[in-house]
A and B are shown apart, each in its own frame.
Chain A
Amino acid sequence: MHCKNIRAFFLLFSFMAIVALAFSAQSANQVVTFSVTAINEIAVSGNPGALVVTAATAGSQPNEAIDNSTTYLISSNGTNMKITGSINAAMPPGVSLKINLAAPTSGSSAGDVSLGIDSTDLVSGTGKVAEAGKTITYKLSATVAAGVVVNAHTTVTLTLTDGN
């Protein structure tokens, strides 16, 4: 009985020594799990100045009013994305608001686009990009048929979305 106890103790001690060695060594490993999700961010620098149609050459429709004081910023790790634009309510009859977005390094600008309540493509085919300071140009035009339009506001929404 006594010999059996000694044998059992020896086996237990040996097992513990082996386990201790397994968890302590000159090197140690860690497994790092990582990922990158789809990232699509667009922002604007602020609101444009007030656009006022106020002059005309006799015999011609009123002169267009232009503002290019604002810019947009874009970050996307996707491919073939596009920027669309829309306004929250239709412009008054005879009044037209156009927008022109400078394209990021990868992408194509649609040029002067008349804004409506339905989304319209403004920039297409953007690649993976992180750029700021891209110029936004607004052009307000009105025909004489529009008459006098008192100080009004409209909200323009730019959306970065899948180009497919």
Chain B
Amino acid sequence: MNATARKLGILVFVLVFGTMFLGAGAVFAGATADQTVTYEVTAINEISVSGNPAALTVSTAVAGAEPDEVSDSTTTYAITTNQSKKITGVLDTAMPAGVTLKINLVAPTGGTTVTDVTLLGTATDLVTGISPVAESGKTITYKLSATVAAGVVASANKTVTLTIADSL
């Protein structure tokens, strides 16, 4: 065999086995594969109430004293939040002169109740320091009071709005 044939044989050998080596590497790289997964959890803030309270009627007094306060604790609220929040309350319109409506929300675990808050036309804190929580059946207590100066007040409706708000 002459030198040229020998060189050609060596070249062929290198090409064949080099290709086999590279091919083997490609086969072994397919045993694992990476994926990039994109995900997120958005801010979740949900509140709902069990219904409307029963009618509140101031109708009695002890002679010499202002009329007796009446209360209702028949409704509850449910809350789900994954943030630090507070709950505020607001009336759609002001109460008649001499008539006061208060509200008391039982706080969810970790929160703090602001006791017997007089509801106004501007939002007022009812529960503060709420941490991420998912709870239901939290009692809502309404208290209606009236002074004699209020006189007789015919049946009327007010809408109370409870809102999950930023703590700051």
A residues lining the B interface (CB < 8 Å): 23-39, 41-43, 72-79, 128-133
Contact B49 A35 (CB under 8 A): no
Interface of A is mostly: strand
Task: Give the A-B contact count at a CB cut-off of 8 A.
Answer: 150
Instruction: Report if B94 contacts A (CB, 8 A).
Output: no
Give the distance in Å from the alpha carbon of A107 to the alpha carbon of B155 in the complex.
Answer: 29
> A28 with B161: in contact, given A34-B56, A34-B99, A36-B151 (CB under 8 Å)?
yes
- B interface residue numbers (CB < 8 A to A): 45-49, 51-53, 55-67, 75, 77, 99, 101, 140, 142, 144, 146-164
Contact in complex: B155, A129 (CB < 8 Å): no
Contacts of A26 in B (CB 8 A): 45-47, 163-164
Say how far A21's CB is from chain B's closest CB, in angstroms: 10
Chain A residues with CB under 8 A of B59: 36-37, 39
Assess the A28–B48 pair: CB atoms within 8 A. Answer: yes
CB distance from B75 to the nearest CB of A (A): 7
Q: Report if A78-B158 is in contact (Cβ < 8 Å); known contacts: A24-B46, A36-B146, A37-B57.
A: no
* Residues of A close to B153: CB separation below 8 A: 34-36
Q: Which residue of B lies closest to A38 (CB)?
A: B152
30 A–B contacts, CB within 8 A, in A order: A26-B47, A27-B47, A28-B77, A28-B161, A29-B160, A29-B161, A30-B160, A31-B52, A32-B52, A33-B52, A33-B157, A34-B156, A34-B157, A34-B158, A35-B153, A35-B154, A36-B99, A37-B57, A39-B67, A41-B61, A41-B64, A42-B63, A43-B62, A73-B63, A75-B64, A75-B67, A130-B65, A130-B67, A132-B65, A133-B64
| Closest chain B residue to A131, Cβ basis | B64
Contacts of A77 in B (CB 8 A): 67, 146, 148-152
Select from chain A the residue with minimum beta-carbon distance to B57.
Answer: A35
A25 touches B47 (CB 8 A): yes
- Selected contact of B58 from candidates A37, A79, A132, CB within 8 Å: A37
Q: Which residues of B contact A76 (CB under 8 A)?
A: 148
| Cα separation A28 to B56 with both chains bound (whole Å) | 20
Question: Whole-angstrom distance between the alpha carbons of A128 and B58 in the complex?
Answer: 15
Most interface-central of A37, A75, A77 (chain B CB within 10 A):
A77
Name the one of A28, A34, A130 contacting B148, with C-beta atoms under 8 angstroms.
A130
Q: Check A129/B162 contact, CB under 8 A, given A34-B57, A74-B64.
A: no
With A73-B65, A75-B148 known, 12 other A-B pairs at CB within 8 A are A25-B47, A27-B47, A28-B162, A29-B159, A29-B160, A30-B49, A30-B140, A32-B157, A34-B155, A41-B64, A73-B63, A128-B150
Contact between chains at B157 and A31 (CB < 8 Å): yes
Bound CA span A30–B105, Å? 13
Whether A39 contacts B148 by the Cβ 8 Å rule is yes
